[in-house]
Amino acid sequence: MSADQHIETLEGTFEYELEGIYYMEQELVSALDEMAMAATNDHLQNGFSTHREETEGHVERVERAFDAYGVEPRQRDDPVVDALEKDRQQFEGMVRDADLKNLYFLGAAMKTERIEITSYDSVLTVADKLHLDDDVTDPLESNREEEKRTLKKLEGMSSASEMKSLWDRLTGG
Ligand SMILES: [Fe+2]
Ligand SMILES: [Fe+2]
């Protein structure tokens, strides 16, 4: 779908949302790869690597949803995803300290998961109004569940012992 096309229906809105999600999941595979390499905290590194693999599965599930809906998988540019990427590059360019970068990555990852969860909420609400088949919605629901689990893990990490030495160093504790 391109920006000069008109969307006049709920179906068109569903496709627009799904195309954005397809773009987002593909972009996140490389973003998670880059963050896994740039993070110096083991827990973060492992978490990003694991979620990168899960995200490859998200891309496949979105393709299954397209298939079940009966259209070719298509992606559209999503400025929200591009902005997340731009912000990360900007921060990385401004900061040298590895722990400050780790903390930033943790926050950026939580922000991203929240955006993903909300995107799936929106597309599933539209799918529900359209009474779309489970074949279309199940893969999207599975992705949303995995994003929620990932967000929980990240939230746990930011307060738990995994990050303690890092906070201690940065706060002089
Ligand atoms: Fe995802
Ligand atoms: Fe995710």
Set out the domains of the chain in order of their start, with CATH numbers: 10-171 (1.20.1260.10)
Q: Which two tokens stand for residue 10?
A: 């709920």
The least confident of 15-29, 36-50, 137-151 is: 36-50
Q: Shortest CA distance to 21 belongs to which of 103, 112, 157, 100?
A: 112
With 80 as the cut, is the pLDDT of residue 30 above it? yes
The answer on pLDDT for 173 being more than 70 is no
Ligand with smallest separation from the Cα of 51: 2
- Give the range among 5-9, 32-36, 103-107, 155-159 with minimum mean pLDDT: 155-159
Judge residue 51's burial from the number of C-beta atoms within 10 Å of its C-beta, 0-12 exposed, 13-18 middle, 19 or more buried. buried
Ligand having the closest approach to the CA of 55: 1
Q: Of the bound ligands, which one is closest to the alpha carbon of residue 149?
A: 2
- Say how many Å lie between the CA of residue 16 and the centre of ligand 1: 17
In this model, does residue 160 exceed pLDDT 80?
A: no
Give the DSSP per-residue string, the chain.
Answer: --TTS---SHHHHHHHHHHHHHHHHHHHHHHHHHHHHH--SHHHHHHHHHHHHHHHHHHHHHHHHHHHHTS-------HHHHHHHHHHHHHHHH---HHHHHHHHHHHHHHHHHHHHHHHHHHHHHHHHTT--HHHHHHHHHHHHHHHHHHHHHHHHHHSGGGHHHHHHHHT-
- Kindly give the distance from the C-alpha atom of residue 71 to the centroid of ligand 2, in angstroms, as a whole number: 24
**How many angstroms does the Cα of residue 71 sit away from the middle of ligand 1?**
21
pLDDT band at 1 (very low <50, low <70, confident <90, very high): low
34 has a pLDDT exceeding 90 = yes
Distance 116 CA to ligand 1 centre (A): 6
Q: How remote is the CA of residue 120 from the centroid of ligand 2, in Å?
A: 11
pLDDT at 168 over 90: no
- Residue 99 CB neighbour total at 10 angstroms: 17
pLDDT at 136: 98
CB atoms under 10 Å from CB of 13, counted, come to 16
Confidence of residue 152 (pLDDT cuts 50, 70, 90): very high
Per-residue pLDDT at 119 exceeds 80 = yes
- Ligand 2 centre to CA of 151 (Å) is 8
pLDDT digits (tens, 9 = 90+) for 53-112: 999 999 999 999 999 999 999 999 999 999 999 999 999 999 999 999 999 999 999 999
Ligand 1 ion: residues within 5 Å (CB): 25, 55, 58, 116
- Cα 149 from Cα 64, distance rounded (Å): 21
| CA proximity to 32, closest of 146, 168, 162 | 146
Share of the chain above pLDDT 70, in %: 97
Task: Return the closest-CA partner of residue 3 out of 79, 87, 65, 116.
Answer: 79
Residue 168 alpha carbon to ligand 1 centre in Å:
32
Extract the tokens encoding 105. Answer: 């990555």
Whole-model pTM?
0.93
For residue 70, how far is its CA from the centre of ligand 1 (angstroms)?
22
